[in-house]
Amino acid sequence: MKGSEGNGVKLVVAGGAGFIGSNFIRYVLGAREDWRVVNVDKLTYAGNLANLKGLESDDRYRFIRADICDAPRIEEIVSTERPDAIVNFAAETHVDRSISDPALFLRTNVLGTQVLLETARKLEVARYVQISTDEVYGSLGKEGKFSEGSPLRPNSPYAASKTAADLLVRAWFKTYGVPGIVTRCSNNYGPFQFPEKIIPFFITLLHEDKQVPVYGDGMNVRDWIHVDDHSRAIEAVILRGQPGEVYNIGGGNERTNIEITKLLLSAMGKPESMMKFVPDRPGHDRRYAIDDAKTRRELGVAPRVPFEEGLRETVRWYLENEAWWRAVKSGEYLKFFDLWYTREGRT
């Protein structure tokens, strides 16, 4: 990247109004005074400009509403902005939604990635970073961890679409020399996560004294990482990652869903009777665990946030930011955006 220390890097971040993208933008503009970010987001139900509140007046930041599947528009943006790197967070991300509407996942996650890769190829962008997921590896038994060489065995339409996108990055690197890098991270938690994902969903239900629905026997295992640790790893990938490579990112915190639920019940002072077991998610992966040795060794980055502490802070954040999640749950934030957008005369 530009300069050995990454001085003056300009990023086009796709999907920067969602959970991880918005945390990444706030992290990177805080950590890197001379970096600039152009956030390109369609603002689907999951995109929310309130996640980036305060940055509107920062002249290192700019928001453009666009769909990554809209090839002419993406090409126009990238040719005008001339970024040093494109970082692609934009995706449909909720596994349960992918079971009921798989076509949307293929459109955004596969065709959208292809549009970004083609743009990077035509305009010779120096780096392309694809934010992917451990779900591409499928499910583990009790033993072992996913390494970058593990076979790709996606089990949900979401995971299959992310796998297809990863393979496009590989193909565009091998065939056209597009300097693409793939990151595969485990389950993130932290502020601004859409309350359909288990941690914010359960916190907001418990706050309203509603029971929380645990799928199946609740013994599925996820490897949890704080979103700030994910952001630090992505920054290291932008600076030191090698084109054509894949980097696993994990938290080293394997927990069953029952353990997560009990931690949340205890943090919120609720009894175990608030946990109810419901029918399982079809194709539900049993266990994810990440081997991140390559990322630690080659990029010199490792997670720092202790899980119990990060989870306690996260619970506190949702309790202190009730207005944020109430607006999200009611869909109010979408109306707010449309009003603002029209008033500003934007298209």
41 is catalytic: no
Q: Which amino acid is at 56?
A: E
Given 134, 166, 223, 254, the catalytic residue: 134
Query: Could you say which of 1, 35, 61, 93 contacts ligand NAD (CB under 6 A)?
Result: 93
Q: How far is the CB of 108 from ligand NAD (least distance, A)?
A: 4
Contact 248, 166 (CB under 8 A): no
The CB density around residue 153, as the number of other CB atoms within 10 Å, is 14
173-202 mask for ligand DAU (x: CB under 6 A)? -------------xx---------xx--x-
Interaction between residue 129 and ligand NAD (CB under 6 A)? no
Please calculate the CA angle 228-132-176 and round it to the nearest 5 degrees: 125
Angle between helices 19-31 and 227-240 in degrees, nearest 10: 60
Residues 6+ apart with CB under 8 A from 263: 255, 308, 311
Question: d(Cα 266, Cα 260) in Å, to the nearest integer?
Answer: 10
84 is catalytic: no
Scanning 54-62, 76-84, 85-93, 204-212 for contacts with ligand NAD by CB under 6 A, the matching segment is 85-93
**Cβ-based nearer residue to ligand NAD, 43 or 289:** 43
Query: Could you say which of 41, 67, 135, 228 contacts ligand DAU (CB under 6 A)?
Result: 135
Interaction between residue 188 and ligand NAD (CB under 6 A)? yes
Query: Could you say which of 108, 119, 130, 133 contacts ligand DAU (CB under 6 A)?
Result: 133
The tokens describing 121, both together, are: 């190829």
Q: Which does 214 bind (CB under 5 to 8 A by kind): ligand NAD, ligand DAU, none?
A: ligand DAU
| Per-residue exposure over 45-72, b if at least 16 CB sit within 10 Å of its own CB, e if not | ebbbbbbbeebeeeeebebbbbbbbebe
Scanning 65-73, 79-87, 133-141, 296-304 for contacts with ligand DAU by CB under 6 A, the matching segment is 133-141
**Cβ-based nearer residue to ligand DAU, 95 or 106:** 95
Site for ligand NAD (CB under 6 A): how many residues? 29
The tokens describing 310, both together, are: 């990060």
Given 158, 189, 318, 333, the catalytic residue: 158
Scanning 65-73, 147-155, 254-262, 303-311 for contacts with ligand NAD by CB under 6 A, the matching segment is 65-73
Greatest CA span in the chain, whole angstroms?
Answer: 57
Q: Give me the residues paired with residue 40 across strands.
A: 14, 64
Interaction between residue 46 and ligand NAD (CB under 6 A)? yes
Can you point out the beta strands (E) in 67-169? Answer: 85-88, 127-133
Site for ligand DAU (CB under 6 A): how many residues? 19
Q: How far is the CB of 57 from ligand DAU (least distance, A)?
A: 31
Question: d(Cα 215, Cα 282) in Å, to the nearest integer?
Answer: 10
Interaction between residue 84 and ligand DAU (CB under 6 A)? no
134 is catalytic: yes
* DSSP summary character for residue 136: G
Contact 11, 35 (CB under 8 A): yes
Interaction between residue 257 and ligand DAU (CB under 6 A)? yes
- Binders of ligand NAD among residues 130 to 159 (CB under 6 A) are 131, 133
Stated as kind and residue range, the H or E segment containing 291 is none
Q: Give me the residues paired with residue 277 across strands.
A: 214
Q: Which amino acid is at 99?
A: I
Residues near ligand NAD, by CB under 6 A: 14-15, 17-21, 41-44, 46-47, 67-69, 89-91, 93, 108, 112, 131, 133, 162, 185, 187-188, 194
Residues near ligand DAU, by CB under 6 A: 93-95, 133-135, 186-187, 197-198, 201, 213-215, 220, 222, 257, 281, 288
Residues designated catalytic: 134-135, 158
